[in-house]
């Protein structure tokens, strides 16, 4: 009976390890996607700022950006 209990425990540990492995992989994908989105947002901000400066070069285009406390 103890052998069966140990086998169930081993299978359970294996299942937990597999689930954690899958979850870790998914979290890594999400992290990479968030990083890519942040890069795209930064590029978009830079591009729109460049366009605004080109249209009105004498205005301070960064002053209106709200600073985080």
Please report whether residue 61 resides in a domain.
Answer: no
Predicted TM-score (pTM) of this structure: 0.59
Please report whether residue 69 resides in a domain.
Answer: no
**Position 11 confidence tier, pLDDT thresholds 50, 70, 90:** confident
pLDDT at 10: 81
Rounded mean pLDDT of 40-68? 79
Please report whether residue 68 resides in a domain.
Answer: no
Q: Is the pLDDT of residue 3 over 80?
A: no
Contact between 61 and 52 under an 8 Å Cβ cutoff? The reply is yes
Please report whether residue 60 resides in a domain.
Answer: no
Q: What angle do CA 28, 32, 37 make, to 5 degrees?
A: 145
Total number of domains constituting the chain: 1
pLDDT tens digits for range 12-51: 888 899 999 999 999 999 999 999 999 999 999 999 988 9
Please report whether residue 66 resides in a domain.
Answer: no
Structural domain of 2? 1-54
Closest by alpha carbon to 45, among 69, 64, 30, 31?
64
């Amino acid at each position: 009976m103890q052998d069966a209990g140990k086998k169930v425990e081993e299978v359970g540990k294996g299942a937990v390890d597999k689930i954690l492995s899958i979850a870790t992989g998914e979290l890594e994908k999400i992290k990479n996607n968030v990083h890519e989105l942040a890069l795209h947002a930064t590029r978009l901000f830079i591009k729109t700022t460049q366009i605004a400066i080109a249209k009105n070069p004498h205005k301070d285009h960064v002053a209106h950006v709200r600073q985080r406390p």
